[in-house]
Homo-oligomer: A and B are copies of this chain.
Amino acid sequence: MILKHSKQRDAIKSFLMTRKDHPTADVVYTNVREEFPNISLGTVYRNLTLLSEIGEISRIRVGDGIDHFDADISLHYHFVCTHCGSVLDLNMESLSHINEIAGAGFDGKISGHVTYFYGTCPKCTSQELLS
């Protein structure tokens, strides 16, 4: 399948690059519609999937049942606020050593891990102090 250029795909990628949070497909749809009022939700999904398959963006699953997307494909971990649901980046060292810990007592082959952290985000923590 030869990839053809598309304005819609460019717009989706560009929008994602402007965001430091990790929008869902629906948020992408809502925002890209400002530039392309007729864009279809299917086009957004298809391109998000395509872009993540070719490694230009990454798909993040944090257990809320909704896929989030991130234009930052560098290795990093995520934090999910259990109060407001926001997804933030964590600036921390790689945890690749845990693959060896997991593999020690396991007969199969471990090729990676998925980790995210949860708790109260800075914004919600400061609001707790007020109440």
Chain A interface (Cβ < 8 Å from any Cβ of B)? 61, 63, 65, 77, 79, 81-82, 88, 90-93, 95, 98-99, 101-102, 104-122, 124-125
Q: Are B112 and A118 in contact (CB under 8 A)?
A: yes
* Given A90-B102, A102-B77: A118 and B113 interface contact (C-beta under 8 Å): yes
Q: Are A111 and B107 in contact (CB under 8 A)?
A: no
Least CB separation from A94: chain B residue:
B101
Min CB distance A119 to B, Å, is 4
Extra 14 A-B pairs, beta carbons < 8 Å, given A79-B110, A108-B122, A110-B117: A61-B61, A63-B114, A88-B108, A90-B105, A91-B105, A91-B106, A95-B101, A107-B125, A108-B124, A111-B120, A112-B119, A113-B115, A114-B116, A115-B115
